[in-house]
Amino acid sequence: MGKTEKLKELFCAFCSGSTPAPVKTEPELPLKEMVRKLESFDEEDWGLYAFNREPLSGKFSAGQKRQYIRKANDCGKEWAERIAEEYHTRRPGEIAAKMGIRVETPAVPVGGELVLFAQFVQPDEITIFTDCLDKASSMEKESGCQLLNRERLFEILLAHELFHAVEERHEQEIYTRTEKVELWRKPFSNKSSIACLSEIAAMAFAAQLLGLTVSPYMLDVLLVRAYDRNMAAGLFEEICRLTEEKMRGQ
């Protein structure tokens, strides 16, 4: 396995390191209005946003993407219920303990350069960086966004990473791992899983487990905003643009 693939396994959607920074072109919306707009996007909108940073995205038609998005969301929800039933709790901290997963909470990543919010490291460690919790939760009041409550935010990040641990332990049967696309056929078949399906499913898992009424995918924009408003404004424009294109049927 190459180094790049290894990195991809360690980091995920809550890592903004691999997110291209779109150029901000319009005046920034007040935080409250931005949150209201982010709350209005549905699973399919966020799925398209996830596909927009998927290296294999060009291989799929709009119809195929919609189908993948629906199945990945179903997968996340179904596994949230399976895990809640198996461990008799919906609390991510208790589930982690029962799964034998260590949860580390340093302030920032070692090295400190890359803005990173949380990560799952195989086989049994999840790290949640508390500097990000502090910075993002300080926007709770101004934004009116309930997901930014510090404890809630911790649970969402933990639930998201728990899904990656669940994927690892059930890779033979879980949709996000069994669904593969053929990259090339000759001289031998080479198949790859589709990375963004894991992220879509991890968000759906967190939402289902915690009974959220809005998509935690909006944190992808809001957590970045806690560090870099310009970059967050770019991501915000991106999801708005994708949704508008969808409505125009492009």
Stretch that binds Zn ion, among 93-101, 174-182, 189-197, 198-206 (CB under 5 A): 198-206
Closest CB to Zn ion among 137 and 198?
198
What is the separation, in whole angstroms, between the first and last Cα of the chain?
37
Residue closest to Zn ion when measured from CB atoms: 12
Q: Which of 34, 174, 202, 231 binds Zn ion (CB under 5 A)?
A: 202
> Among the candidate windows 12-20, 131-139, 143-151, 236-244, which touches Zn ion by CB under 5 A?
12-20
180 alpha-carbon distance from chain centroid: 20
Interaction between residue 13 and Zn ion (CB under 5 A): yes
Residues 6+ apart with CB under 8 A from 209: 80, 83, 84, 90, 92, 159
Q: Which stretch binds Zn ion (CB under 5 A): 55-63, 183-191, 197-205, 240-248?
A: 197-205
Q: Which is nearer to Zn ion, 155 or 199 (CB)?
A: 199
Q: Tell me how far CA of residue 108 lies from CA of 6, 118, 232, 249, in angstroms.
A: 21, 10, 20, 42
CB atoms within 10 A of CB 209: 27
Minimum CB separation of residue 7 from Zn ion in Å reads 13
Radius of gyration of the chain (CA): 18
Is the Cβ of residue 28 or residue 78 nearer to Zn ion in the bound state? 78
Backbone angles phi, psi at 113, to 5 degrees: -80, -45
CB of 12 to Zn ion, least distance (A): 2
Closer CB to Zn ion, residue 12 or residue 158? Answer: 12
> For Zn ion, which is the closer residue by CB, 36 or 77?
77
12 in contact with Zn ion (CB under 5 A):
yes
Closest by CA position to 49, among listed 215, 249, 229, 217: 217
Question: What is the distance between the alpha carbons of residues 217 and 200, in angstroms, rounded to a whole number?
Answer: 8
User: Quick one: which segment of 7-15, 102-110, 129-137, 238-246 binds Zn ion (CB under 5 A)?
Assistant: 7-15
Q: Given the rule CB under 5 A, which residues bind Zn ion?
A: 12-13, 199, 202
